[in-house]
Amino acid sequence: MRISGRTRTYGILGYPVGHSLSPVMQNAAFAQLKFDAAYLPFEVRPEDLRAALDGVRALGIAGVNVTIPHKEAVLAYLDDVDPEAAAIGAVNTVVNRDGRLIGYNTDGAGFLAALKSEARFTPKKRNVLILGAGGAARGIAHTVASAGAASLVIANRTVSHADLMAQGLSHHFPYLKVRTCDLNPAAMEPHLASAHLVIQTTSLGMKPTDPSPLPAKLFRKDHVVCDIVYTQETPLLKAARSRGAKVSGGLGMLIHQGAAAVFLWTGRRPNLNAMKQALVAGIRAKSARKR
């Protein structure tokens, strides 16, 4: 990478941010496009978020990604928010348009694009079971509902969180059938039986010793099962794959949401393979450091 007086600056705001693979992936995207830009990690404490966005304006940083824990809080400090991001209540991409900061959410579009390319699946008129009711679940559920899903069941450890998320979804999608249940196999079994698509959005599975939230015997060949964890194939995906279900890990979603952000910033479509190669090398280097 060559830095000159004309190089544009991009970055990611998060706390912590040292684990993020976005710098590796987005710099690879820029390099492949021959776009004169650099993408940096910015560790921003929650109490400094407003100042950080003023800094983005003052320094003329051309765009940022936003990650945990700022995706929701950042909306308050932007000049404008895309309607879909506003409805989800979370922003993961900010574009600096002549000093005005505009927020977008590419997580949902990234999820749908990955699902289409990896499992050849679209959620229209399909039944969806989603595990988890946090920020990631809300974004994905909103997108799946927008894409015309027939029904949605939200399974969560704390059912009251799932109930709150269900209320928000029913408000935006009055005709969508939304139900909730506990995150245990017995409660999920009847919903899995009628589901076409299962989406795992909790942190369960990040450690290889985590148990699968659903036993293998409940999966069928015609299930499509996604997990947002991208560091390795989770016990859930292994269980589903052992029964012949189509599975899709979090790597595809990470790449597609990043590519959608690059498109918002540059108007160009980056090469997904170049981004994937950089990510896989980054994940390998990280696990080698841990050993």
Catalytic residue numbers read: 71
The reply to whether 204 sits near ligand ATR by the rule CB under 6 A is yes
In terms of residues, how long is the chain? 291
Cα–Cα separations (whole angstroms), residue 290 to 210, 233, 285: 18, 18, 9
Segment (H or E) for 93? strand 93-97
Contacting ligand ATR (CB under 6 A), which of 3, 54, 158, 190?
158
Rounded Cα distance, 36 and 24, in Å: 15
The reply to whether 106 sits near ligand ATR by the rule CB under 6 A is no
The reply to whether 53 sits near ligand ATR by the rule CB under 6 A is no
Tokens representing residue 204 in the block: 């369960």
Residue among 127 and 202 whose Cβ is closer to ligand ATR: 202
Helix axes 22-33, 272-290, angle to 10 degrees: 150
> Sheet holding 224-227: strands in order across?
177-182, 151-156, 127-131, 197-200, 224-227, 246-248
The reply to whether 202 sits near ligand ATR by the rule CB under 6 A is yes
The reply to whether 137 sits near ligand ATR by the rule CB under 6 A is yes
Residue among 51 and 206 whose Cβ is closer to ligand ATR: 206
Question: Helix, strand or coil for residue 142?
Answer: helix
Q: How far is the CB of 61 from ligand ATR (least distance, A)?
A: 24
Q: Give the binding range for ligand ATR (CB under 6 A) out of 16-24, 75-83, 91-99, 150-158.
A: 150-158
Q: Give the binding range for ligand ATR (CB under 6 A) out of 121-129, 157-165, 168-176, 245-253.
A: 157-165
Phi/psi for 35 (5° steps) reads -95, 125
Enumerate binding residues for ligand ATR (CB under 6 A).
Answer: 132-137, 156-158, 161, 183, 201-204
